[in-house]
Structure 1
């Protein structure tokens, strides 16, 4: 900060900046947005701008950087993408008429959670989350500022709240309470969230139901207040807040969704290779968002699930009508986002044109569904409100060839407004009228070179040379005198001039005014447009599920109130699509009423993990109402899925593979019920053999005795297979192999009973390790098998004592000294020249 006297403009900047200390302030000055002080220094580095200074000759020049206003959005997007806030200060009056410093004010604050106009905006939801606390309970509200979706719930503890934040893939959290340093580090450091404090709440808003709990109203009100404080514009598209409970859907934490490649491929971070990728045959952005939401939060309500199944069945049976439906959906734009642009006052003529085109497709969609004559479709048909009056208004008003700029005319159709039509006739015919008047007066006066000209000072005038002044009639009046000629006007010419100039000046502004009125009229339909958007999205998702069911040969699952899992020739549909149906080996997954655990043994790369994921994928698809990849499938409805599949460190939070493994195991055994599904792959391998085996057995016993959840437990600890003798509800299965003439083939087929041996060295061979290394490994394995301690499993399932444990075998067992090694160890390299060292090495090599 300079100690020198500041100009009024810079003082204005500092006054505004004081209200937005955590944001980059873009200060509008003419055709540029300027940044000053630290904002300028940091933005210049981030955005690769030229850093200059204001008051260069002062003792402490003010750092300064700027971006052109017409291309500012790209720079704003970059800053927000990197997790920064940007405050936009606009000129609030015309600089030409301003007295003193031009008034400026912040018109919007753009944050990672409130992005609405970004060029990088995709079709996914961008949720802004608010978190508040009352005692030991946490309130969580979230909103998509673009679509207007608004939800609130209560959480029992902070761990549950942070889990929900991860699930929502949020980038910004509005905090209604003071965080301790450790929690702040978790949210901002580990989860990379922008934390924005908010003390005040808009609890009395009509969007907040007064029947919510006190904490729910409080956190929803603070989220609403933050959005109002940052957006500073009309938010009529925001929907009333909807309370929800996490337990109302199939519960899966972020790690589970990631390990199952549910919404994106965990290895690439891309959609390709995920379940979402497989199931997405949607034709609209709204449908794509809704499909993602369904996969993210499958149902547990059997009636809702079976309703979706029934609609899919109707659509599958109507192949021709479904094809027509797809064609109708292709003409549908993103109504939710168009409605938000109308609400924000950002909609363009092209937006309204797209809205009109979309409404034009709704009757066709409705007619196709009505034509199927199925009662199950009635509630969908009833929600397809075509808004005929709005469609008629837009169709009548907006020209199909509208320009991008809304201030230069060409927006409104001829015939929509009488005054505008008059202006257009004048502009179109004005030149002809001038030519006609010119010819008429030339003939009447006899002035052969009489002509009408125009300039900005004198307007339209008759040009008469000095030699013809004697022929000027009395109804001409002088407008200007030049050296060799005079300029005259007439009442008729003045009238024409007035009409033409008025038409020229007023036409564009009238069009803009008409468009603003249209936008206000459309804003009255926002609620109905949002309802229509949800209906179209639902139709789109259901047709997508029907299309995929037909393409991938999926079948309708049957639900049972018993705890029976009976899947015949089930498949992991994503793996199958990537590999090709000819290469994929299907598997039965069968667990009767009395079976709680399957203990799965078999070599790596044989398909254990795929088998386990396959069950989870089938359950998820079944519970979103979709058909599933199998010949037949009978399933209970699960309340949660817990997984530990694959090894991964959490380096950011400083947790090893084994720690992550134990934390996820702890979450599963504490939160799972007998109606949950648990998938554990190689649990316990992250520590010493006996530790890992002991923990694995103890976890199996705990799930068996205390939890009762359906569980698939894959392990390399063959010793655990004997647990089937002690645990009533545990069965052994294994991945079958074919061994012939020393060659092993993995059949990728699950068979009953335990595996008889491991094939780790064979897997290493497939991976291409050197033959001599594999031979050495085989030799060590023989030693281990001959001398390893025998571990006995007692009748109570506990580990017995180790009998006569041998000394620890060294994997790199020492061998007798070799004379070449002896000589090599005696060489003193420090006393040798490079040439002597080379000669010694050559001699040793020759001897060896």
Structure 2
């Protein structure tokens, strides 16, 4: 018969049953212990030794793995990053005062989408919890996003388009770490989100009920209506929002008071960039490495603060579509561009600015550390200097800058409180003591003095005992188990006085005590415990006072981030020769000497700029042909990225630009298999093309690269032509379109549709080799130079030689049979004639050539020149008139 579980293990089983699906970190003294399956997970994932302790309910050995509490945060962080949910069960009463088993309870559940601890957040980017509410028809969706580390909370309405495309776009735009869905959510939706590397958590369906969600939000934000948040008619999104906030508060065991409301982000309020476009244009990450380096965001992010970095990311993923709002940003950038001193002084002040947004969130939650408060104080103390920058110069600041400065609170009370209460170089944790400054609290000062005098007494006692016993190495030390003791080495044990009371034997000697030491010990330990407890109470009181200012700190952080981005845009524009674009409510898109913002920064040989002229009435569709590697894809991406930059409020790399506002950018670039869905490259291409054709408007920009190349030549050519006809339409306008192709027969379309124009990238052909000139010029090309590119890639010479033979054979077949209709080309090929043997010349020809070479045209009158021409014609045997 096996013994039943101990009282502590009964507690464990109780907590585990209440929090299924989590790894339970169960505090036992100075360690977090995990048991059973949890211990096996921790051992495997964190490389911690797996042991056993006692027996489980079935009488089997209980697996055990533990980590020290002081290092618990790092271990938990590693588990969460691997997609686990961790429940933290702490001792909630002092073991010394406990009667029976120590009370324990789960104080929070840490999930990938609810991280708030500073040590667990890897970078300055947002950390979103996503909530999805499907509609009954299976097509409409409601979205909500919450970053509890900053308090950012917003909903997003369901846009037009296929359901999975909407989900994919939201995930690509906001990169959530976790997504909650109703427990009855269709499995295909949960599986799709999981397939996008997002942890999916089922949550009680009741929380997604519209009445439950609405009432929860009304109560949480203490309002009578949600109408002020702009979410009328968005019931699915309101359901998602209510569940999202409820889940966050439930897991954190907190009301998250720093979340004071939410905003509504509608597709109509910004340029729509779906997941495909974000990927193809490399807005957030490099398409090859899937890393942020060498993306548009990466090369534009020279911000000085974490808040600025997050603002920049949001602006690039949701560029504006209102001309006045865009120009408001451009005006602010122009101000910083023209005022070098203000710009660089501001950037200097913001250098190493603390992430006050996240510190404010942790203050609200109650887990902000002493050092974070000091960095918050140092950052807030710079606010007067920031204000003075704009007043000293006397410059008239644009409205956006003035409004931002006006919303930055002085927060002098916070600075003064922290300065008065917290040590300038405090420990990391408040519970270790040494956090509160002397003079802040009279009772604490008395305890500090008492503790100091006690330590002086110990030091004097040690010296007195050394003098009395003659043992020069005698030491008085302390540990939690044995308290204070006198330590004597083995070689000196013969000198120990008879009244010394043995306490412990060690490898190197003995430990003793005396009645007067024991008496002092109780006073010292009691004073230190009271000191630590009072310090913790005082520190909690300081957090409570600061909590009243969290809303102002968050607003200030937001405005600091905005100013940081505006100054960053101006700094980049000045350093890299960007110009202010002209923003119009038109269908024009004119760019002079445009440059790809990422490629030019990574190209040591210099970037060849190109123009772009597209509009809906004349040059609506540009068919771009040319050699492989000539620069077609780079050019098209360049045009799209400049539009994103302009509508985000940034100057652009060009000598001039007129941007007619674009509502959405569609891209179909490159070939990608979706093997997880069993979809071929061509199917993926057609799905992306269908999305474009079904949702495009006359205000959209469409980038199409190699449509139809994934199937047979005839099929692909037919599809490509039909797409051009569809985008052109029968009306007087259509979406601005860049269409790159190797179907050279398509250039004939220019003569059939009035708004289609041919362009190509010129090359220089030397006869044996070609040089890419990277210059876009009017007209069409009839060569792709694929074999030349294969040579550059290192294809074996034998394969290249055979390719050339086959190419010649096929070309001869086409010429002989007349099977291919030869279109008219206006390609600019700069041909270097190969060296050849000069033909033999007769004496008359040599004489004529010598006379021509000896002529001095500048010395001849018109009449004399005419006479020379007649004479040369006669000598060459021409007919006389």
- Indicate the TM-score class for this superposition, using the shorter chain for normalisation: 0.7 to 0.9
* Aligned counterpart in structure 1 of residue 719 of structure 2, from 695, 698, 717: 695
Q: How does 1:281-680 map to 2 (within 5 A)?
A: 281-372=302-393, 373-376=395-398, 377-425=401-449, 506-580=530-604, 582-592=605-615, 593-680=617-704
Q: Give the conservation status (yes or no) of the 8 Å contact 2:323–2:584.
A: no
**Counterpart in 2 of 1:35?**
34
Matched residue of 1:316: which SS?
helix
Cα deviation for residue 605 of structure 1 reads: 0.6
Gap runs ≥5 in structure 1: 437-453, 461-480, 795-848
Q: Determine the C-alpha separation between the residues in 2 that align with 1:782 and 1:261.
A: 39
Cα deviation for residue 177 of structure 1 reads: 5.4
Q: Which moved more, 1:336-345 or 1:149-158?
A: 149-158
Q: Determine the C-alpha separation between the residues in 2 that align with 1:222 and 1:738.
A: 62
Cα deviation for residue 727 of structure 1 reads: 1.2
**Counterpart in 2 of 1:210?**
226
Q: Give the conservation status (yes or no) of the 8 Å contact 2:435–2:535.
A: yes
Q: Determine the C-alpha separation between the residues in 1 that align with 2:20 and 2:525.
A: 49
Q: Determine the C-alpha separation between the residues in 1 that align with 2:271 and 2:367.
A: 38
**Counterpart in 1 of 2:244?**
223
Gap runs ≥5 in structure 2: 208-215, 461-475, 485-498, 502-513, 824-881
* Aligned counterpart in structure 2 of residue 280 of structure 1, from 301, 304, 323: 301
Matched, 1:167 2:173: yes
Cα deviation for residue 779 of structure 1 reads: 1.4
Cα deviation for residue 500 of structure 1 reads: 8.4
Q: Determine the C-alpha separation between the residues in 1 that align with 2:459 and 2:169.
A: 77
1:195–1:511 Cα change, 3 Å: closer
1:609–1:770 Cα change, 3 Å: same
Cα deviation for residue 429 of structure 1 reads: 6.5
Cα deviation for residue 425 of structure 1 reads: 4.9
Q: Which moved more, 1:391-400 or 1:714-723?
A: 391-400
Q: Determine the C-alpha separation between the residues in 2 that align with 1:231 and 1:573.
A: 42
Matched, 1:151 2:167: no
* Aligned counterpart in structure 1 of residue 738 of structure 2, from 692, 696, 712: 712
Cα deviation for residue 258 of structure 1 reads: 1.3
Matched, 1:757 2:783: yes
Matched residue of 1:728: which SS?
coil
Q: Determine the C-alpha separation between the residues in 1 that align with 2:515 and 2:297.
A: 76
1:503–1:621 Cα change, 3 Å: same
Q: Give the conservation status (yes or no) of the 8 Å contact 2:360–2:553.
A: yes
Cα deviation for residue 600 of structure 1 reads: 0.3
Cα deviation for residue 413 of structure 1 reads: 2.4
1:734–1:510 Cα change, 3 Å: same
Matched residue of 1:407: which SS?
helix
> Residue by residue, what CA displacement relative to the aligned partner does 1:587-618 show, whole Å, maximum 9, x if unpaired?
01112442210000011111000100110110
Q: Determine the C-alpha separation between the residues in 2 that align with 1:315 and 1:280.
A: 16
1:699–1:429 Cα change, 3 Å: same
Q: Which moved more, 1:141-150 or 1:12-21?
A: 12-21
> Residue by residue, what CA displacement relative to the aligned partner does 1:191-243 show, whole Å, maximum 9, x if unpaired?
54323323233344333853244433322111111111111124111230112
**Counterpart in 2 of 1:740?**
766
Cα deviation for residue 56 of structure 1 reads: 5.4
**Counterpart in 1 of 2:837?**
none
Q: Give the conservation status (yes or no) of the 8 Å contact 1:562–1:636.
A: yes
Matched, 1:193 2:193: no
Cα deviation for residue 389 of structure 1 reads: 1.6
Q: Give the conservation status (yes or no) of the 8 Å contact 1:87–1:106.
A: yes
Matched residue of 1:652: which SS?
helix
1:346–1:187 Cα change, 3 Å: same
Matched residue of 1:635: which SS?
strand
Q: Give the conservation status (yes or no) of the 8 Å contact 1:352–1:394.
A: yes
> Residue by residue, what CA displacement relative to the aligned partner does 1:51-73 show, whole Å, maximum 9, x if unpaired?
33333598422333322222222
Matched, 1:141 2:144: yes
Q: Determine the C-alpha separation between the residues in 1 that align with 2:29 and 2:522.
A: 33
Cα deviation for residue 497 of structure 1 reads: 12
Q: How does 1:818-837 map to 2 (within 5 A)?
A: none
Q: Determine the C-alpha separation between the residues in 1 that align with 2:130 and 2:745.
A: 48
Q: Give the conservation status (yes or no) of the 8 Å contact 2:387–2:405.
A: yes
Q: Determine the C-alpha separation between the residues in 1 that align with 2:576 and 2:588.
A: 25
**Counterpart in 2 of 1:727?**
753
**Counterpart in 2 of 1:468?**
none
Q: Give the conservation status (yes or no) of the 8 Å contact 1:369–1:381.
A: no
**Counterpart in 1 of 2:97?**
97
Q: Determine the C-alpha separation between the residues in 2 that align with 1:791 and 1:697.
A: 17
1:426–1:155 Cα change, 3 Å: same
Matched residue of 1:55: which SS?
strand
Matched residue of 1:200: which SS?
helix
Q: Give the conservation status (yes or no) of the 8 Å contact 2:336–2:343.
A: yes
Q: TM-score with structure 1 length normalisation?
A: 0.83
1:424–1:68 Cα change, 3 Å: closer
Matched residue of 2:563: which SS?
helix
Q: Give the conservation status (yes or no) of the 8 Å contact 1:149–1:239.
A: no
Q: Determine the C-alpha separation between the residues in 2 that align with 1:759 and 1:394.
A: 69
Q: Give the conservation status (yes or no) of the 8 Å contact 1:658–1:686.
A: yes
Matched, 1:790 2:826: no
1:59–1:353 Cα change, 3 Å: closer
Q: How does 1:45-56 map to 2 (within 5 A)?
A: 45-55=44-54
1:775–1:400 Cα change, 3 Å: same
Matched residue of 2:120: which SS?
coil
Q: Give the conservation status (yes or no) of the 8 Å contact 1:35–1:65.
A: yes
> Residue by residue, what CA displacement relative to the aligned partner does 1:621-671 show, whole Å, maximum 9, x if unpaired?
000110000001011010000111122212222222211111111111111
* Aligned counterpart in structure 1 of residue 253 of structure 2, from 226, 232, 249: 232
**Counterpart in 2 of 1:111?**
111
Cα deviation for residue 519 of structure 1 reads: 0.9
Q: Determine the C-alpha separation between the residues in 2 that align with 1:42 and 1:405.
A: 29
Q: Give the conservation status (yes or no) of the 8 Å contact 1:133–1:177.
A: no
Cα deviation for residue 792 of structure 1 reads: 5.5
**Counterpart in 2 of 1:812?**
none
Q: Determine the C-alpha separation between the residues in 2 that align with 1:116 and 1:428.
A: 37
1:164–1:497 Cα change, 3 Å: closer
1:734–1:357 Cα change, 3 Å: same
Matched residue of 2:258: which SS?
coil
Matched residue of 1:783: which SS?
helix
Matched residue of 2:236: which SS?
helix
1:277–1:455 Cα change, 3 Å: closer
Cα deviation for residue 107 of structure 1 reads: 0.9
Cα deviation for residue 765 of structure 1 reads: 2.0
Q: Determine the C-alpha separation between the residues in 1 that align with 2:477 and 2:191.
A: 70
Q: Give the conservation status (yes or no) of the 8 Å contact 1:335–1:533.
A: yes
Matched, 1:125 2:146: no
> Residue by residue, what CA displacement relative to the aligned partner does 1:347-386 show, whole Å, maximum 9, x if unpaired?
1111111111011011111111233432413212211212
Cα deviation for residue 35 of structure 1 reads: 2.1
Matched, 1:256 2:277: yes
Q: Give the conservation status (yes or no) of the 8 Å contact 1:411–1:511.
A: yes
Cα deviation for residue 505 of structure 1 reads: 5.3
Matched residue of 1:737: which SS?
strand
Q: Which moved more, 1:500-509 or 1:749-758?
A: 500-509
Q: Give the conservation status (yes or no) of the 8 Å contact 1:130–1:141.
A: yes
**Counterpart in 2 of 1:265?**
286
Cα deviation for residue 488 of structure 1 reads: 12
**Counterpart in 2 of 1:440?**
none
